[in-house]
Amino acid sequence: MNKSVVILLSTYNGEKYLEEQLASIFFQTYWQNCTLFVRDDGSKDGTVAILKKYEQEGKLRLECGENVGFVRSFFWLINNAPEADFYLFADQDDVWNADKIERGINSLCKEDDSIPLLYFANIDIYDSEMHFVQHNDFISSLPSFETLCTQSLLTGMTYIFNATLLNLMKNVNPLNVDGHDYITAMVAGACGKLIMDNTPVAKYRRHNSNTSPLNVSFFKMFVWRFKRFFINRNNKITQQFYEFRDKFEALISEDKRYFVRLLTKDKTLHFRNIKLFFYPKRFRKSSLFEEIALRLMFLTGRL
């Protein structure tokens, strides 16, 4: 167990919960082989002061930059990360179980490191004050490539991935990406191997400033999706499909290439939309309603 690990953490106005997350990282059973690499995304509160305190203690490496948004901030970390065997994404407001990293490294070390590897695990969901809400039951089996493309299903803060996958991610233009963890799962699922651990490895904190909903009520999820796809016309999911095709089409199998080509055909072409509406494989691992809603978005050219 001498594999080197780099933890990639992007922060922004996170002073309220940051120290609790940092403590859970520093008390990892695998911490002795880890480097915590942090980029602050232009915080206006006391986040940077907290980070500089730990930087002076030698517990992390800190870079401070202008506010560019979490996707571009994480991709800056990807492109500037020090060399290591494995890498992790970290959010500023969760709490990790003490053996989170060790569990993942144990699993990854059994695999062929020459291909892109992505380990992911389950989580428990807590409220903003860290009161238990529920176990996450979203992930019960390995998702298909179609699901990885059409649903940001996996939780990025559980990821551990190898240098082979990191190097592939350096080809991605973050301006065309909907989520750093979303496209990382797509690339791993298409070009490498996913390793699933159904055991919860962290406490996922839900609060009003989260960037996307998870395990919220049906009504809140419906409102969020309606705003995203029918009111806000600037969502980047379609751009992400094109980015994936342009950078990785040559590396994937013919069946996956066919699906990606369908996703990236002109949305005004009726045959394209009809083919996706009647596509024989299921897209969503969640509710039947979401499956139907997604197919209707394809049929009407919204995606």
* Residue 145 sits in the same domain as residue 49: yes
Return the DSSP state at 178: S
Mean pLDDT, residues 159-184: 98
Answer whether residue 210 is part of any domain.
no
Which runs of consecutive H residues, i.e. helices, occur in the chain? Answer: 18-26, 47-56, 70-80, 100-108, 145-150, 163-169, 180-191, 218-226, 237-248, 254-263, 270-277, 288-299
* Residue 231 sits in the same domain as residue 124: no
Predicted TM-score of the model (pTM): 0.91
What was the pLDDT predicted at 217? 56
* Residue 130 sits in the same domain as residue 194: yes
* β-pairing verdict for 34-41 and 193-205: unpaired
The closest alpha carbon to 143, from 215, 183, 82, 194, belongs to 194
pLDDT at 35 over 60: yes
pLDDT in tens, 128-142: 999 999 988 767 789
Answer whether residue 211 is part of any domain.
no
Lowest mean pLDDT among 53-57, 134-138, 145-149, 207-211: 207-211
What was the pLDDT predicted at 285? 79
* Residue 143 sits in the same domain as residue 182: yes
Domain boundary among the residues 141, 175, 205 is at 205
Q: Which amino acid is at 149?
A: C
Domain boundary among the residues 178, 205, 232 is at 205
Domain that holds residue 256: 218-299
* Residue 145 sits in the same domain as residue 279: no
Answer whether residue 212 is part of any domain.
no
What was the pLDDT predicted at 136? 86
* Residue 188 sits in the same domain as residue 97: yes
* β-pairing verdict for 86-90 and 160-162: antiparallel
What was the pLDDT predicted at 236? 87
On average, the pLDDT of the chain sits at: 92
pLDDT at 231 over 50: no
Token pair in block for residue 26: 């520093």
Q: Quote the number of domains for the chain.
A: 2
pLDDT in tens, 54-96: 999 999 999 999 999 999 999 999 999 999 999 999 999 999 9
* Residue 200 sits in the same domain as residue 229: no
Domain boundary among the residues 205, 238, 273 is at 205
Token pair in block for residue 97: 């179980």
Distance of alpha carbon 225 from alpha carbon 241, whole angstroms: 18
* Residue 10 sits in the same domain as residue 147: yes
* Residue 245 sits in the same domain as residue 191: no
pLDDT in tens, 263-286: 999 999 999 999 999 999 999 877
What was the pLDDT predicted at 212? 53
Answer whether residue 73 is part of any domain.
yes
* Residue 72 sits in the same domain as residue 125: yes
